[in-house]
Amino acid sequence: MTLPRFLIVMVYSKLLLSKLDAYGKVEVRLEYRIVPDHEADPTIGKYPQSALASQALLGRVPGDIVDTVFNYEAVRLRVESIHEGD
């Protein structure tokens, strides 16, 4: 079975993520777009596909929780939603 593209995290997916605290409570929500490395610009929410957080998020679906590194900090992120394009 193949999942529709908007249900699985891929390169060019625009994500709404929740950063969770140690108790699973939402600390902050953020938009995160995975792009090819040469298109990356973290100042506008475009992160390289080679980044640790991007690698941890690829292939995930809404509701998944990943432990990774983001902005040099160990974090727990939950995928809230996935959108296509701009």
**21-34 CB burial, b ≥16 within 10 A, e <16:** eeeeeeeeeeebbb
Predicted local distance difference test score (pLDDT) of residue 43: 92
Give per-residue pLDDT as tens, 17-57. Answer: 999 999 999 999 999 999 999 999 999 999 999 999 999 99
CA distance 53 to 12: 14
The reported pTM is 0.88
Instruction: Please report the pLDDT score of residue 51 as a whole number.
Output: 97
Q: Give the tens place of pLDDT for each residue, 60-84.
A: 999 999 999 998 999 999 999 998 7
pLDDT attached to residue 83: 84
Please state which CATH number belongs to domain 9-83.
3.10.50.30
